[in-house]
Structure 1
Amino acid sequence: MTKQPNFKEISLSADISSSTQLQDTIENNNSKEIFQIHQPKLQHHIAVVATNTQQMKETGFGTIETCKFFYDILNKKYQKVTFHDVSSKTDLYEVVLSKPDLVVLCSKYLMDVDSNTRTWFVDYFSEHEIAFTGSDRQGLEFDSNKSKAKTTVQNHGIATANFFLAQPDQFQSEDKLPLPLPLFIKPMDAANGNGIDENSLARDFESYQKKVQELFTIYGANVLVEEVLSGREFTVAIFDDPQNNYRSIMPVEIITPMNTKGDRVLGSASKQKNDELLRAVTEPTLSAVSELAGSVFSALGAISFGRIDIKLDALGKPNFLEANLMPGMTPDSSYFPRACSLQSVANPSDTKPAGMSHSEVALKIVELGLNRVLTLEQVA
């Protein structure tokens, strides 16, 4: 792995090497009333790796434009930042040849439509000993497989709605279903509310059959069927820095407008409209939701950052819904940066995290990745 410079060795003097440069800079900014001298950029090479996810079920950070916004933020902080819109393994190898200190993964994998195969970025860069941000392959599989994630948290004694996997015509009548109606039906491996709409909550057997058939036809895989949780819904942004013994847990409540059936269903339509209300969480719910989210993050072996979705049951008990370990990062609509921004600190001694701007979120993701690199080098 590429040797990283020690943070402590980086000078905090102004990024101006001579008086001539300083004079030129002042002249170029003579229209400004105040001239500010900035700290130098940190001496790391950060490669931002993205791919077009428009036709994919899992979109990672978001569009290419969102990923470029990440690049713009990092480019102000680090000495060398490169952007790679990857569409082939050749593009990936070019990233390796550039020998970055850290790769920011904006997507999970490269999809080959012709062969219907995936090249997982975490596997590729691991094989080439290139460090990357976020969770490893094992963690990201929990993100991609909701059933596997729910089974794992159940095995750790963490509450989640009872569920089963279904195919069309698997059960011939309502009394044959493993769980009683009503039931909530959704794809096992899609993100951003894809496949979820007002028909996802099935109150009768005919509705159940139609929704299972629809999702199986679209996604070509078993469908996840859950008990209905009738309480409030939350999403929890988490930053985890074990190297410095620090974990920031930032929950917000999501309030979705009622649909034509009188249900609050958080699906793709609501997310596209961006008409959900996000609000801060208060005690005692704050502690209960935060504790569950932290337990899930640990149980799934998540690394550095991620988002945990939670819903209360009829008795007000938090239950795990799903994990998003490469969450969306679109500034004005994605839940992860919005959850980070909605935090507040009541007083200086409060341990609750303060709100973060989108730029601070991006920089924190890279900081945590570099911390891991430095720790691994020290161990080696």
Structure 2
Amino acid sequence: MEVAVHDLDLAYGDFTAIKSLDLTIPDGESVVLLGQSGCGKTSTMRCIAGLETPTGGTISIGDKTVFDGNSGRVVPVYKRNVGMVFQSYAVWPHKTVLENVAFPLKMKGVAKARRRTEALAVLELVGLAHLADRGASMLSGGQMQRVALARSMAMSPSVLLLDEPLSNLDARLRDDLRVELRRIQTERGLTSLYVTHDQQEALALADRIAIMQAGRISQLGTPEEIYGTPASASIASFLGVTNVFPVAPGSTSRALELADTEVVLRTDRAVPAVASSACIRPEDITVTLDSGNDVSDLSGKRGDANHLGGVVRIAVFQGSTIRCKVEIDGGIELDAVCPPPSTGVLAPGARVTVSVDAAAVKVLPDEVPSAETRAAVAA
């Protein structure tokens, strides 16, 4: 079912956790709320579930309004038909896997034979049917998380809410379960809202990603849109862009001066009129061992690219790639991820040339302006 949140506010005393938030999740879509701790993403989910009472706005699930700040309508949790999967597994250790999954069906009054059949069907979906009669206390962490997911799905929820359910698992298991979660959500056509601070998780699980900052959604788009065109330098930094440098006032796209340095770059992006930063992804940087040529001789000979001389300070071998930090002549350090050179070694102290296409230099406003700021500018 579609979930519609309009003009949602949530305050705790003088602190506002959610500010005029609007979000619509179409039927069958997976939306991920992505943001740093304290940005309001879990509070938003808890408001939809009914675990928090907002201070204003409306929330609808399907054609049913479950919260309306103006009329005072508040539908209790158990009447919203939402399934929740928490960071802690919340699995009953004294029950079997099957009993855990069948419990919500029992609470709904489903007959014993039917609830066993339905619970086994969901366990088959999450790959745990062979462990149906095993005690839950004998499961691994990943298996417990699958039980928690199956239990929420068994009640056939209108909306599935997941609050960082994979954060307690090791890296390899998280990767595996991301794929499983995406498969299940797609196959079942579940309307789902997933909360995380892990960008890789968001990219893997979302039809759309909502970036939350300071209680509001600052950017909403597909994973490809969010990754490729972040709306601000702060979002780019959060998404893993490690090369973020303030731009000096008066810079142009052909003479992009990095503040407090002697470095000047070119970009094919317009320079915003507000405080902004140059953002370069490490994987968009090419590092070449210095052949002894003057770097200035390279200008204009490799297309529309920036060529900067520097010295490798740190180099970390990562198998198919090398992650290195290069101190550029002129006062900045660039983080780069590149393949090993065909000849020679990228080692600390080596002279190198760093090349960055102008198209890879994104110039972004430091922050996405709030609705209040945009209104003030328009006025």
- TM above 0.5, one fold? no
Structure with higher Rg: it is: 2
TM-score, structure 2 as length reference:
0.29
Which structure carries more helix by proportion? 1
TM-score, structure 1 as length reference:
0.29
Which structure carries more strand by proportion? 2
